[in-house]
Structure 1
Amino acid sequence: MTDWKAFTVETKDHVAQVTLTGPGKGNSMGPDFWAELPEIFTALDADPEVRAVVLAGSGKHFSFGLDLQAMAPLFGPLMADKALAAPRTTFHDEVKRLQASVTAVADCRKPVIAAIQGWCIGGGVDLIAAVDVRYASADAKFSIREAKVAIVADIGSLHRLPPIIGEGHLRELAFTGKDIDAARAEKIGLVNDVFPDAEATLAAAHATAAEIAANPPLVVQGVKDVLGRERSATVTDGLRYVAAWNAAFLPSEDLTEAIQSVFEKRAPEFKGR
């Protein structure tokens, strides 16, 4: 498991470290990320030598989220004038594929601990919502930013975060698209603990992973299975609904404006059309 384009994977003492490496700026999530993530976590799930997983980001940031430029072909056919059933069906299938990539993390029977530093935006929050334990460095910042780019978040944060941070906090973050720092993230329960820097955060994640790995592996997997039982049906239903919703309603002048403003590095002007 060494020839990945968007990740590195290393295993030692029953703990695997999966590290986001890009290739986009800020470990942004392009085609390689979405293709490789489920392969990696399916393999880790099946590996009897792995008992816990640490998920980290390389460089100064965890992830800037979806790589809009690299993933632009996903939106192009849907934004065409009078997009009919075929492009909407294709888009719907693609959304379900991206959802399945992150769900592979949630479904991994080995507990996953995220070590987060710097920015964790959009798809990055979708990803950490799918893990079991979240640690952050003091410089970490979080944003469910999809609303600011005229998109309903559809990869899992809206469905996995309610039992983690509560409905009120989730609605505030999702409606506004605001940024929050590590201290606020800890206060609302988005992260378990905050550490001085990225190095200390990663060390803490590995310490917890080692504690987990020292326990009977099948019992740990059973605990994760039991804890996830009630939530899994709700999440599955919610992901199905939002995929259909976005296939029907995502195309808009506001989405075009949002994408153009990103490329042109200016503030968008939304008109509700």
Structure 2
Amino acid sequence: MAAYKHFLVDTPAPFVAHVQINRPQKLNAFYEEMWLELKEVFDTLSLSSDVRAIILSGAGDRAFTSGLDVQAASQQGVLQQEAGKSNDVARKAVGIKRHVQEFQDCISSVEKCEKPVICVMHGITFGLGLDISTCADIRICSKDVKFAVKEVDIGLAADIGTLSRLPKVVGAFSWVKDVSLSARIFGGEEALRVGFVSYVLDNKAAALNKALELANLLAEKSPIAVQGTKELLNHARDNKLADSLRYTGVWNSAAIQTSDVERAMLSGLKKTKPRFEKL
């Protein structure tokens, strides 16, 4: 695996990649260089034939991520970058919009990754931590997790993805407004109750073990089937039923011709474990 400045990437099992946000001394808080590198990591893994499932976690014992590095943002953020370029409000607004769009695109790379992403959260998981985790396909947390949609506490509406994705993830709009308007902290059991996470484990190590168990299970299956299922589920979430059915038909008119179908069926008859070609 390639070496990165702000992320640790290794292969704990065949066809499984583990990505760790690696700035534990700052509670894995993000600044611009980090979210640009996050996109580089996930764009690379998305196209790697050696990867079929990805685990995303935070290094250290205290936090998945505390969110945006507010100190760095106050010194080198978009307002500072746009200062002095123009006194025209509209032109400043265009520059800020472009910055936000780039930021959104970097975080969305987790969602757009062709491979399923399992997000493991522990400790502090504020702000950007929710933006990132709502892009993941499966979410797991430890009992010590502290979630918060924190942006209103710094005078902003969350703008990198949580307000767009969280209502679709949990489907309980009253609860989404509750946590988003108040910025209150909530824990793993509440997250499990509303469907934000699939599992709550005793500690980070147990949560990572559960993620690896799931990732191994996904990596053993046909990559054509798994990646197709992710694509079709995401399309169904964002489109009308009729459009989704039509898209599924077109998608599978190609996918059904894969040799993986025959291999999977024969292995079921013979009670053997199928092996699938790299994709």
**TM-score for the superposition, normalised by structure 1:** 0.81
**Contact 1:16/1:53 (8 A) holds in 2:** yes
User: In structure 1, what residue type is equivalent to 2:125?
Assistant: C
> In the aligned structure 1, how far is the partner of 2:43 from the partner of 2:20?
16
Specify the alignment match of 1:69 in structure 2. Answer: 71
Match of residue 18 from structure 1: 19
What secondary structure does 2:57 align onto? Answer: strand
Aligned equivalent of 1:148:
153
- Looking at structure 2, the residues matched to 18 and 184 of structure 1 have their Cα atoms a distance apart, in angstroms, of 26
SS in 2 for 1:71: helix
- Cα deviation, residue 232, structure 1: 4.3
Q: Is the 1:105–1:130 Cα contact (8 Å) retained in structure 2? A: yes
Deviations 1:225-257 (A, max 9, x none): 1000033469xxxxxxxxxxxxxxxxxxxxxxx
Aligned-pair identity in percent equals: 31
Distance in 2 (CA, whole Å) between partners of 1:201 and 1:8 is 18
2:124 is the counterpart of 1:119: yes
Asked if 1:42 corresponds to 2:43, the answer is yes
Counterpart residue number, 1:196 = 202
Secondary structure (helix, strand or coil) at the match of 2:158 reads: coil
| Structure 2 partner of 1:157 | 162
Q: TM-score of the superposition, structure 2-length normalised? A: 0.79
For the pair shown, which has the larger CA radius of gyration, 1 or 2? 2
Contact 1:52 1:111 in 2 (8 A): yes
State how far apart, in whole Å, the 2-side matches of 1:127 and 1:230 are.
Answer: 20
Counterpart position of 1:95: 100
Contact 2:130–2:148 (8 Å) recurs in 1: yes
What's the CA shift for 1:109? 1.0
Deviations, residues 92-149 of structure 1 (Å, cap 9, x unaligned): 1110011001111001110000111101000010000000001000100100010111
Partners of 2:44 and 2:102 lie apart in 1 by: 18
- CA distance 1:233–1:42, change in 2 (3 Å): farther
Tell me what 1:31 maps to.
32
- Offset at 1:63? 0.3
Give the Cα separation in 2 of the matches to 1:141 and 1:83: 41
- Inter-partner Cα distance in structure 2 for 1:31 and 1:2: 20
Letter in 2 for 1:46: L
Gaps of 5+ in 1: 235-273
CA distance in 2, matches of 1:155, 1:217: 29
Contact 2:28 2:65 in 1 (8 A): yes
The whole-number CA distance in structure 2 between the counterparts of 1:116 and 1:56 is 6
> SS at the partner of 2:30?
coil
In the aligned structure 2, how far is the partner of 1:15 from the partner of 1:201?
A: 16
Give the gaps of 5 or more residues in structure 2.
241-279
* Contact map agreement 2:3 2:9 (CA 8 A) in 1: no
Instruction: Identify the residue that residue 248 of structure 1 maps to in structure 2.
Output: none
The alignment's C-alpha RMSD in Å is 1.9
Distance 2:39 2:192 in 1: 28
Residue 154 of structure 2 aligns to which amino acid in structure 1?
A: V
